[in-house]
Structure 1
Amino acid sequence: MGNELTDKAFWANYWESKKGLAFPVPANYTFHKLLKQVVTENKVETAIELGGFPGYYAIFLKKYLGLKTTLFDFYVHQKVLKEVLTANDLTEKDIAVIEGDLFKYEANETYDLVLSCGLIEHFNDTKDIIARHLTFLKPGGTLLITLPNFTGVNGWVQRKYDMGNYEKHNISSMNPQLLAGYCKELGLKNVEAYYYGKFSIWLENMAEQSGLAKAFLKLLWLTGKMATKIVPVESKGLSPYIVVKAIK
């Protein structure tokens, strides 16, 4: 079996099927607090988002934090990209775009921040895909990786209601201790890896679910939200994400 759990055809179909992609990225977009903290603490001026099409985080970093940003992805749907940029009052000149294969591309530029959100879990060799981030990172630069946590309640939801999507993810990669260990083996410093966020669940195919399933999932979502409001802990069972931070 190859390293990739998805291929170009999968992503072409994925983006063709998605609706509502072109929206103004808000100032409180997912991970906004984390991104602002990293940029401020590490004096970040340039950033690249790997596997990030259609580039919401590259847009966020450009739009709200004034960074010079680049989007790198295996597949770039030009029509969708233009629509998303237009919705954010940006053009192709505002964000550099590279369409390429991480396993073949030779980086000719390095960045203060290398970011990926929801990328590494689509590959079988987790340490290898993390290492490929580092070819884009300046010495002293910051690596920031986020990935979904499918080892708790959200994972049960995925298995129960969208096994096809669940199988596109390397569940063994969703382990903060393992991820921190890989980063240290790759020579990174100041490594942090932890569960992130209060309770949440989601489904890529929510619109296709029955009314009964939608009602149950809404109830589950509300119950989890209330529980983590009372006891605001971030944990393997309830947190929707995992975050990895390190310095090269």
Structure 2
Amino acid sequence: MERLSEKKFWDAYWQQETRSDFQKHIFSDIFQHYLPKNASYFEIGCAPGTNLVYFANQFGYRVSGIDYSNIEQVGKLLKHHGIVPEELSGEDFFSYTPKRQYDVVASFGFVEHFQNTQEVIERHMQLVAPQGWLVIEVPNIRYFNFLLYRILNPSLLAIHNPKAMNLQALQAPIKESNNFEIVFSGYYKSCFLYFNPDNAELVKHSLRRKLFLGLRSLTTTLGLENYPNRFFSPYLFVIAKRMR
């Protein structure tokens, strides 16, 4: 599997994360609409562990995860919040031997760090239990967002595969399988200003963070974020249910 990033990059990256509100999530509306409660949950690329905390607290999930970077800190974060994971693995996902299948299998910003999108998604699908759910999100660093990254954080462009930021590419292996039904596939929100305010790059630059928060508030007030499209939306989602 050809990687576009290295472990040492992620070790340094996750050390910068400073999140404190685990009751909310940027994608909470999608989660609430599509995902079940009180289920087993496995996250691929689970560092820094914030999603595990959110799903354990808000959905009653029995959480598990894998990440070859910073897995010790993930464990400490869960312990701090009184959460006992079913499994935490510090292995490479592509050499990992699954012990079981899960009701919900998810990854957020994982698939696009590899060249072979289809193979990565197929490995996700193998972990989903019958009647379970597959959730894949990738950033949309194309079109206007590409220009934004080029200006603000060009070093991140090299570790992303733009071919994975395509709904057809994300859907293809799922459609080829007769076991899954796609229940949602689309872009999420609109306007290039819809960024996570706890993003490490924004946290490091307080003035830049204040500017983005102000502009995001303005675009939200004007309702501009409610027009998802491939040119400005910052995220893509595919959610599928395994039928058998």
Structure 1 and Structure 2 fold alike (TM over 0.5): yes
For 2:34, the equivalent position in structure 1 comes to 38
Alignment of 1:89-100 (within 5 A): 89-91=81-83, 93-94=84-85, 96-100=87-91
For 1:111 and 1:123, how far apart are their aligned partners in 2?
23
Query: Out of 142, 158, 163, which is 2:149 matched to?
Result: 158
Deviation sequence 1:184-220 (CA, Å, 0-9, x none): 1244432232101233146643466696x77875676
TM-score, with normalisation over the residues of structure 1?
0.83
For 2:237, the equivalent position in structure 1 comes to 243
For 1:177 and 1:19, how far apart are their aligned partners in 2?
32
Q: Is the 1:52–1:73 contact (alpha carbons within 8 Å) kept by the matching residues of 2?
A: yes
Query: Aligned residues, how many?
Result: 237
Query: Out of 162, 168, 176, which is 2:167 matched to?
Result: 176
For 1:114, the equivalent position in structure 2 comes to 105
For 2:4, the equivalent position in structure 1 comes to 5
- 1:38 partner letter: Y
Q: Is the 1:52–1:71 contact (alpha carbons within 8 Å) kept by the matching residues of 2?
A: yes
The worse-fitting range, judged by mean Cα deviation, of 121-130 and 31-40 is 31-40
For 1:205, the equivalent position in structure 2 comes to 201
Alignment of 1:178-193 (within 5 A): 178-191=169-182, 192-193=184-185
For 2:160 and 2:224, how far apart are their aligned partners in 1?
31
Identity of aligned residues (%): 23
Q: Is the 1:12–1:77 contact (alpha carbons within 8 Å) kept by the matching residues of 2?
A: no
Q: Is the 2:195–2:234 contact (alpha carbons within 8 Å) kept by the matching residues of 1?
A: yes
For 1:20, the equivalent position in structure 2 comes to 18
Cα distance change of structure 1 residues 141 and 214 upon mapping to structure 2, 3 Å threshold: closer
Query: Out of 137, 141, 155, which is 1:146 matched to?
Result: 137
Compute the displacement of 1:12 (Å).
Answer: 1.5
Deviation sequence 1:59-89 (CA, Å, 0-9, x none): 11111111111011122342x32553355x2
- 2:174 partner letter: C
TM-score, with normalisation over the residues of structure 2?
0.84
Q: Is the 1:44–1:113 contact (alpha carbons within 8 Å) kept by the matching residues of 2?
A: no
Deviation sequence 1:153-211 (CA, Å, 0-9, x none): 33221112211111111111111123222321244432232101233146643466696
Deviation sequence 1:137-162 (CA, Å, 0-9, x none): 11221111111111243322111221
The worse-fitting range, judged by mean Cα deviation, of 120-129 and 171-180 is 171-180
Cα distance change of structure 1 residues 216 and 76 upon mapping to structure 2, 3 Å threshold: closer
Compute the displacement of 1:111 (Å).
Answer: 0.4
Deviation sequence 1:40-68 (CA, Å, 0-9, x none): 3xx66111011021222221111111111
Superposition CA RMSD, Å: 2.7
Q: Is residue 62 from structure 1 mapped to residue 60 from structure 2 by the alignment?
A: no
Q: Is the 1:121–1:147 contact (alpha carbons within 8 Å) kept by the matching residues of 2?
A: yes
Q: Is the 2:117–2:169 contact (alpha carbons within 8 Å) kept by the matching residues of 1?
A: no
Give unpaired runs (5+ residues) of structure 2. Answer: none
Q: Is the 1:198–1:225 contact (alpha carbons within 8 Å) kept by the matching residues of 2?
A: no
For 2:74, the equivalent position in structure 1 comes to 81
What SS class does the counterpart of residue 4 from structure 1 fall into?
coil
Alignment of 1:221-240 (within 5 A): 221=216, 224-226=219-221, 229-230=223-224, 232-240=226-234
